């Protein structure tokens, strides 16, 4: 839980298996389970600002870049939120 959202962290797909929809399945399943267990309706995550492929993947899954409400706790990162 971070900022009243189910926060997803440390998500990594083996480079040899990227582009197969694994990240979408992983995030969808974690989001459903996390939101249910935490009784919240949205998710968040941090992504390194130079990780263009991950940012694009998260945007396709409904995440949007959002200003972190306080001082950003991680350098060179973007905060993304999904309210789906």
Helix boundaries (H) for 8-83: 22-38, 52-60
Q: Tell me how many degrees the CA angle 70-34-72 measures, rounded to the nearest 5.
A: 15
Model confidence at 84, pLDDT cuts 50, 70, 90, reads confident
Computed on alpha carbons and rounded to an integer, the radius of gyration of the chain in Å comes to: 12
pLDDT tens for each residue of 11-69: 889 999 989 999 999 999 999 999 999 999 999 999 999 999 899 999 999 999 999 99
Query: What are the CA-CA distances from residue 10 to residues 13, 17, 45, 46, 83 (Å)?
Result: 10, 17, 9, 9, 20
What is residue 24's predicted lDDT score, i.e. its pLDDT?
A: 93
């Amino acid at each position: 839980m971070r900022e009243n959202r189910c926060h997803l962290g440390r998500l990594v797909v083996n480079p040899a298996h990227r582009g197969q929809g694994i990240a979408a399945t992983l995030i969808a399943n974690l989001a459903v389970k996390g939101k249910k267990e935490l009784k919240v309706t949205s998710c968040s995550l941090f992504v390194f600002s130079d990780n263009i492929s991950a940012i694009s993947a998260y945007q396709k899954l409904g995440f949007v870049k959002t200003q972190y409400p306080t001082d950003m706790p991680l350098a060179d990162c973007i905060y993304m939120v999904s309210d789906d």
